[in-house]
């Protein structure tokens, strides 16, 4: 029984961390730029396909990370130029435009790769024994990476000048422009960072899930919930949201039943959104 509890505990942490990684790109784009990028899941999907191609080519899996970041970054660049900027980063307008974009990206990938499932082999196989219980190595590595990424992001956003500039731009774009921050470039780069991060998340989850053109749709809804429940534009918010949405569902799923857990997660999200409409840790 303790063994089961221990594994389930790790599962809860794993789900929260993985969700945080999946949300990260969206958190950057939506939390900082107020762009409701509904095509976020499609960038994750493209990242996963990049991982598939890299693995099929017999290249080391780590190469998939820069590859996915590059592909998704370039698509992000084009999208920013052709869709997001012409719509002046307006939340509702970009929501609609990226809905069309998501459909387009799904069909384009389908055109190239077909509709069938692709499988990406686990790059680090085997399991590690922790206190007598074995847990898959790749999942442990993912958890470690997620923690490192989130921690360094936290530090970077607080310390680095770019972080300060983004905060300034978000707080007051006109003033930021006046003090010499090139908001247009900064917004573009922030957007590209968001899409590239989605691609990297895709590489991370590709070995765990079926890789197919519609896989992004399964990520997007939970990502939005995690982001809004947690609070946009802060690292603590991202973490809190992922823990509540991902972790809670995992706990309830183990304790009650997966369907009830899912419904309960939705209802609890409604409660949080009601009582804390700006999220648990909103941007001040």
Partner 1 sequence: MPTSIKMTRRDLVRAAGAAALAVGAPTIIRPARAADALKIGVLVADSGPAALFGPAQRAAAELGAATINAKGGILGRQVEIIFADAGASPAEVAKSAVKLMLSDKVEMIFGSHDSAVRQGVENVVKGKIPYVYTPLFEGDDCSSNVYFLGEVPEQELQKTLPKMVELAKGKTFYLVGNDYVWPRTTNDKAKKYIADLGGTVVAEDYYPLGAPNKFENTVAKIKSAKPAIVLQTLVGGDNVNFNRTFADFNLSDDILRLSCLLEENTLIGIGKDASKNLYSSLGYFADLDLPENKAFIGELTKKHGDKAPQQCTISKGLYDAFVFAAAVTTKSKSLAAKDFAAAAEGVQFDTPSGSMTMTHRHTSKNIFLARCEGTKFAVIDTFAAVPTQQSCT
Partner 2 sequence: MAYFLVRSILILAFLILIPPLLGEFWAYQLGLYFIYGLAALGVGLTWGQAGILPLGQGMFVAIAAYLTAHGLLAFGSSPIAYLALPAASVIVAVLAFAFAALVFRGRFEQGPSFSLMTLALTLAAFQVANGWSSVTGGFNGLRNIPGLPGLDGFLDLYYLIAILLGLSIAAVDYLVHAPIGVLWRAIADNERRLAFLGYDVAVIKAVAFAVASGLAGLAGALYAPQQNLVTPDLAGFAFSGDLVIFAAVGGRATVLGPVIGAVVVGVLSAELRDRFPWWEIGIALFFIVVVLRLPGGLMTLFAPLQRFSFARTTIRARSAAPGKPRIATSLSVAFEDVRVRVGDVTILDGLSVRTGEEAVLCVIGPNGAGKTSTLNVMTGMLPRRGGRIVIDGADVLRPEPAIVANKGVARKFQTPSVFPKLTIDENLAVALWAGRWRGFDLLRLGLFGWTSPLLEEMRGRFQFLHDGTRPASALSHGERQILELTMALITEPRMLLLDEPCAGLSHEETAAVIDAIQWARGELNLRIIIIEHDMELVRRLADRVVVLHQGRFLADGSVEEVQCNPEVRAVYVGGSR
Matching residue, tokens 């998704």:
72
Least separation in angstroms between CB 221 and partner 1: 7
Site for partner 2 in 98-127 (CB under 8 A): 99-101, 103-104, 106-108, 111
Residue 214 as a binder of partner 1 (CB under 8 A): the answer is yes
Nearer to partner 1, 261 or 280 (CB): 261
* Closest-CA residue to 211 (of 74, 54, 76, 101): 54
Residue 209 as a binder of partner 1 (CB under 8 A): the answer is: yes
Burial readout 227-243 (b: 16 or more C-beta within 10 A, e: otherwise): bbbbbbbbbebbbbbbb
Query: Does residue 224 touch partner 2 according to CB under 8 A?
Result: yes
Rounded to a whole number of angstroms, the minimum distance from the CB of residue 4 to partner 2 is 26
Nearest approach in angstroms of CB 283 to partner 2 is 12
**Block residue for tokens 């918010």:** 237
b (16+ CB within 10 A) / e for 148-179? ebbeebbeebeeeeebebbbbbbeebeebeee
Q: Which stretch binds partner 1 (CB under 8 A): 93-101, 236-244, 251-259, 267-275?
A: 251-259
Nearer to partner 2, 28 or 206 (CB): 28
Through-space distance between the first and last CA atoms of the chain, rounded to whole angstroms: 44
Closest to partner 1 by CB, 53 or 153: 53
- Residue 140 interacts with partner 2 (CB under 8 A): yes or no: no
Write out the residues near partner 2 by the rule CB under 8 A: 36, 83, 86-87, 91-93, 96-97, 99-101, 103-104, 106-108, 111, 221, 224-225, 228, 259, 262-263, 266-267, 269-270, 273-274, 277-278, 284
Write out the residues near partner 1 by the rule CB under 8 A: 1, 3-4, 7-8, 11, 14-15, 114-122, 125, 127, 134-136, 138-139, 207-212, 214-215, 218-219, 221-222, 250, 253-254, 257-259, 262-263
């Amino acid at each position: 029984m303790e063994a089961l509890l221990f594994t389930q505990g790790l599962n809860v942490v794993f789900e929260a961390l993985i969700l945080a990684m999946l949300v990260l790109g969206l958190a950057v784009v939506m939390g900082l730029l107020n762009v409701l990028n509904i095509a976020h899941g499609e960038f994750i999907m493209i990242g996963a396909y990049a991982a598939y191609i890299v693995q099929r080519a017999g290249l080391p899996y780590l190469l998939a990370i820069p590859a996915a970041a590059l592909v998704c970054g370039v698509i992000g660049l084009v999208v920013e130029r052709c869709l997001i900027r012409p719509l002046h980063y307006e939340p509702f307008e970009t929501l609609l435009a990226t809905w069309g974009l998501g459909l387009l990206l799904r069909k384009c990938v389908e055109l190239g790769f077909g509709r069938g499932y692709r499988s990406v082999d686990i790059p680090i196989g085997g399991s590690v024994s922790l206190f007598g219980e074995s847990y898959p190595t790749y999942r442990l590595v993912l958890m470690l990476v997620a923690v490192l990424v989130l921690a360094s992001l936290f530090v970077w956003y607080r310390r680095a000048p770019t972080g300060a500039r983004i905060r300034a731009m978000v707080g007051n774009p006109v003033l930021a422009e006046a003090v010499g921050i090139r908001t247009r470039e900064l917004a573009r780069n922030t957007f590209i960072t968001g899409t590239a991060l989605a691609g990297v998340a895709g590489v991370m989850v590709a070995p765990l899930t079926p890789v197919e053109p519609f896989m992004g749709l399964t990520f997007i809804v939970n990502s939005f919930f995690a982001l809004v429940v947690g609070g946009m534009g802060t690292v603590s918010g991202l973490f809190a949201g992922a823990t509540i949405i991902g972790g809670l569902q995992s706990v309830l799923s183990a304790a009650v039943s997966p369907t009830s857990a899912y419904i309960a997660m939705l209802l609890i999200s409604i409660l949080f959104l009601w009582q804390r409409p700006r999220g648990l840790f909103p941007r001040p």
